[in-house]
Structure 1
Amino acid sequence: MATSAALGPATEVELPGGRISYHETGEGAPVVFVHGLLVNADLWRKVVPAIASAGYRCITPDWPLGSHTIPMPGADLTPAGVADLVADFLDRLDLRDVTVVANDTGGAITQILMTRRPSRLGRVVLASVDSYEGFLPQPFAALGWIARIPGSIRPLIAPMRIRALQRTPLGFGLVAKRPVPPEIADSYLLPSRRSGAIRKDLRRFLKSARNHYTLAAAAHFAEVKTPVLLAWASEDKIFPRSYAERLAGDLPDATLRMIDDSYTFLPEDQPELLAEAIVEFTRLHGTP
């Protein structure tokens, strides 16, 4: 479970696929956050306070992507299944006209959501995300094949207990320009190191993470009516600017905003600029 007090108190909700934990703070129009692989709601700890203080209800779930603490053995953890889980969450909390903010793998899931079950979406922020052929992106595409080997996840994750490795390309070095604080790295990495059930969930997602899901979503982009902000890291080492420009060209109502001095983890590297972009976008497209 995410640990940052800045996210607000934690609670749990029962969904068709199982229980998930989420944090909530602030009042006003809802903003729901979708993190990526091997992180949890703590990714948003430096973004949420600014958005909540601007008059929004910020809801940050721990999605079952390897850093969650409540196993979901009965859930469909394919990318489409996780997108449905997000939609079920919005339904269960009866959230309407929602701003969904996604980063990294969470962006692939959100693109599927946009083209599969968009009825509760009011606007979407895709902050440096997987898309098209780049799901999973290089050099992480091999994880999908490795996950097919029984017992492969534990030895893959075990070396990350070494702090120095966490700052290298084997850890967060390609996605975070600045070091991830040790307590946050523990929040991300300990669940899968400590729990075989969490590793099974992670393995099920990785085994199914193929770009046919994002390419299928892209085939329906012309039908998307939701305004989309593409907040993109100008120094991203995983998702080049060309990905953002392609999305901007294919989505009917998309705006591209480049953010300097950051890698993929914009919420870690440039939380103030990302929060500012989110608030400006939500106000421009229909919420106060």
Structure 2
Amino acid sequence: MRTVETPSGPIAYDDTGGDGPVLVLGHGLLMDGRQWRKVIPLLSGYRCITPTLPLGAHTTPMNEDADLSENGVACILADFLDALGLDDVTLVLNDWGGGQFMISEGRDKRVGRLVLVSCTAFDNYPPKPARPAELLCRLPGGGWLLTRLFGTRFFRHSTRAYGALAKTGLPDALYDEWFRPAVENPAIRRDLVKFATGAPSRRRLLEMSSRMSTFDRPVLVVWAREDRMMPLAHADRLVELYPNATKVIVDDSWTLIPEDQPEVMAEALRAFVS
């Protein structure tokens, strides 16, 4: 894994390399680029870059003064694109949709296309099943207590927690890797708490979301019909919001479409980018 410095701290990333169209694949809370491990092998001919954003599974803490609010992390993602000198990027967001705030922050110049895959949008930050964890993180010592739950079967597999993300389920070995940094490193836990409690008010979120209509480049909305975290109605709202948007609805999947339906996800990306 490579690392690049941004003003907020180091960002680790994987890069398949090559001269093909560039896809930057985002990830969700307490995850990393392995969220796309089933899809990337199906995208030969494309340069796939997977940054590990400071959402709790990163292994090197950010600077103490780093802004890890929703729009702050969006700006870190923009800084990452700047640091690598990437242009005409297809930015793909799944689960965490806060990368959209690159638009409201005026930092989207390197994004040529946007793909929104069953992700947070409008005022759904955080999604309803994640709100108890957010409230816990607001209490003194709440971040530490939250990490004590990471090893429990309930947290990993209940549909009221992380089990709601993938219909096919996720392996415990992968959870172990994703959760270990926040469990073992207090500075990573600090970053996790800053992000978990960093969502603006619902009114502010909707105000920032209204600015997305200025993004006139191609947008693809890919949504799971049975999603338990992200309202299906948001798919239509996003198509209405973005002036150049199309929609694909995926069956037999929950939020992590790259996990539940990797072939469908890869085909949608190939058709959109080409």
The two structures share one fold, judged by TM-score above 0.5: yes
The residue number in structure 1 matching 2:268 is 277
Instruction: Say which of 174, 183, 186 aligns to 1:184.
Output: 174
Instruction: Calculate the TM-score normalised by the size of structure 1.
Output: 0.89
1:260 matched to 2:251? The reply is yes
Separation in structure 2 between the aligned mates of residue 215 and residue 164 of structure 1, nearest angstrom: 32
Instruction: Give the Cα separation in 2 of the matches to 1:101 and 1:260.
Output: 19
Matched position secondary structure for 1:276: helix
Partner of 2:108: helix, strand, or coil?
coil
Q: CA deviation at 1:87?
A: 0.6
How much has 1:216 moved relative to structure 2?
2.7
Q: How many residues align?
A: 270
1:79 paired residue number: 70
How far apart, in 2, do the equivalents of 1:15 and 1:126 lie? 24
2 CA distance for matches of 1:162 and 1:144? 18
Cα deviation, residue 175, structure 1: 1.1
Deviation readout 1:208-257 (Å, 9 max, x if unpaired): 12345531332212211121110001110111221111111111011110
User: TM-score of the superposition, structure 2-length normalised?
Assistant: 0.94
Unaligned 5+ residue runs, structure 2?
A: none
The partner residue of 1:43 within 29, 35, 42 is 35
Asked if the contact 1:144/1:208 (under 8 Å) is kept, the reply is: no
Cα contact 2:39–2:263 (8 A) shared by 1:
yes
What pairs with 1:221-240 in structure 2 (closer than 5 Å)? 221-240=212-231
Structure 1 position 44, deviation (Å) = 1.0
- 1:165 Cα offset (Å): 4.5
Give distance in 1, aligned partners of 2:270 and 2:65.
36
Counterparts of residues 204-223 of structure 1 (less than 5 Å) = 204-210=194-200, 211-212=202-203, 214-223=205-214
Preserved contact between residue 37 and residue 66 of structure 1 (Cα < 8 Å) = yes
1:203 aligns to 2:193 (yes or no): yes
Partners of 1:18 and 1:74 within 8 A in 2: no
Structure 1, 228-237 or 158-167: larger mean CA deviation: 158-167
Q: Which residue number in structure 2 is paired with residue 57 of structure 1? A: 47
What secondary structure is seen at the aligned counterpart in 2 of 1:140?
Answer: helix
Moved over 6 A (4+): none
Task: Choose 207-216 or 188-197, whichever is displaced more.
Answer: 207-216
- How big is each residue's C-alpha offset from its partner over 1:101-159, in whole Å with a ceiling of 9 and x where there is no partner? 10112x1x221013321100000110001111211121222333322212101212212
Q: What is the 5 A alignment of 1:117-128?
A: 117-128=107-118
Residue aligning to 2:146? 156
1:53-106 Cα deviation digits (max 9, x unpaired): 1x111110110001110101332111111111011111110000000010112x
**How many Å separate the matches in 2 of 1:227 and 1:194?**
41
- Give the conservation status (yes or no) of the 8 Å contact 2:122–2:206: yes
Is contact 1:39–1:67 with CA below 8 Å preserved after alignment?
yes
Partner of 1:32: 24
Equivalent residue for 1:112? 101
What is the RMSD of the two structures over their aligned residues, measured on CA atoms?
1.5
SS at match of 1:199: helix
In structure 2, C-alpha distance between the alignment counterparts of 1:95 and 1:177, rounded to whole Å:
34
1:249 alignment partner in structure 2:
240
Give the structure 2 partner of residue 137 of structure 1. Answer: 127
Question: In the alignment, is the contact (CA less than 8 A) between 2:89 and 2:110 conserved in 1?
Answer: yes
* 1:16 aligned onto 2:7: yes
Note the residue ranges of structure 1 that are not aligned, 5 or more in a row: 1-9, 284-288
Identify the match of residue 66 of structure 1 among 24, 47, 56: 56
Query: 2:73 touches 2:99 (CA, 8 Å); kept in 1?
Result: no
CA distance, structure 2, for counterparts of residue 245 and residue 261 of structure 1: 19
